[in-house]
Structure formats: C-alpha cells, structure tokens
Structure 1
Amino acid sequence: MKTHINTNVPFLVTKDISNANGFLLPHALYEKIKTVATYPIKEFYLQDIPDIGDFKFKMYKNAFLNDKLTIQAQLVKQDKDGYWVNITVTKAKNTTNHQERICSALFDFPLESKYYKTNRTAC
C-alpha cells in the first residue's frame, strides 16, 4: 500500500529549550520530533501508539533562540511489519525563499496486532 501522509508543525526555539549561548538543545528537538512523528500514524492504532522500534537522527545545522522552524512528518512506508515516518526540520533563510535543513530523522513504529485498527464488517 502506497500511503503518503504529510504533517507540518511550526516550532519556535525558546529560552527554555536552548542553552546559555542561545543554541537549541538537540535533546529538546528530538523529543518534539518524536511526538510529531506519531501524527501521520495515529489513525492506524486503536489505543496508544507503540514505542519506536528503531530510529535514525541527524543534526545538520544549529538552530538558535527565536528561530522559527518547521517540522515536517511524512508517512513514507507502510507494510506488514509497521510504519516508517520521515522527519525533516527546516528553517527559512532570511535572504531567499529557500529552506535550510536543520535535521532529519526516520522512525520505525512496529505493527502490533492488538493496536491495529481493522475494518470489520458485521455478518
């Protein structure tokens, strides 16, 4: 099944999630993107989404205090084993209409039959 569900979430770097020099703390960004990664797959589970099975997380650039970031989550793969959600975090460049990539991640959510919604018809 080829499914591509996209979600865009704005994210502002605040003093609470940055260090004394104004740099965004990577663990704070990771926690936020881990939450956003669940958005495209919520409809596939009846209850809580299971813990992440595997992930890749890579920082490319630093973000700073008051930066306005966009977190994009996209369901990129759905198979019998689970769901793969790709995350890209970007920031608009000041002088152009281009986006600067801050980080990317890939999360694997395993498929557990007790959580999976199935379409059942009454007999």
Structure 2
Amino acid sequence: MNPTLNHINLWMAWIGILLGLLSGALIGLFFHRDEWLGGYGSWRRRLLRLGHISFFGIAFLNLAFANTVSLMGAATPAFAAWSLVAGAVLMPAICFLAAWRPGFRHLFFLPVVTLISGAVGLLAGEVLP
C-alpha cells in the first residue's frame, strides 16, 4: 500500500467537506433573497449550488477510494488517486467559473473525464481483481 497517495485522497476528502461547509455557509447568507443572482432557478445560482454540493460529492468519492484501497491492502493505483484529486479541484472550480462567466461551461468535460478515469483506474488497477 502506498500510504502517501492514500493520505492525499483522505486529505482531499476532508478539505472538500470543509470547503463544502464554508461555501454553503457563505451562500446561505443570501439564500433568503428571492431574486439573489437572478432568482432560485437562474444559471448563476444553480451553478453556485452545484459547486457547493460538488465539494461534498467528490469528497465522498475520495473518501471511498482511500477506504477501498486501505481495506483491500493493495497498492494505490497512482493514476486513479491523482485523477480523483484533479476532479475534486476541477469540478467546483469550473462550476464557480461558469457561474461567473457562462462560457466556462465548455470545460465541464475536464472534471468529468478525471472522475471517470479515477473510477476506471481503481477498477482496472490492482485493488479490485
């Protein structure tokens, strides 16, 4: 088992949870305003909510990855570990950037590809035969 990579995914999970809590608290300061950022269904508000919740969702993916590798007692597939770390950074970043400038929506394929690569890398790696 490569504890360094496993620890990186654990740290990314807890950093993601913390950032999810902080971004939710910040967004929550304004949620009571019906027309904030164009109203509940507006592009900007939806993308901020997506960015906020993606911190939690991808944190849980990193946590599940680290626990799976740890429980299996096998070598951490480096490609999968780093792919999940990249997805944890890219998804909320692109959500927030797309809320700011809608043209950034064209970059959503980047976190999607990294997260799918992480899952495939885990399944194809030495962790799960």
**Do these two structures clear the TM 0.5 threshold for a shared fold by scoring above it?**
no
Task: Name the TM-score class by shorter chain.
Answer: under 0.3
How does the TM-score come out when normalised to structure 2? Answer: 0.26
Q: Which has the higher strand share?
A: 1
Q: Which has the higher helix share?
A: 2
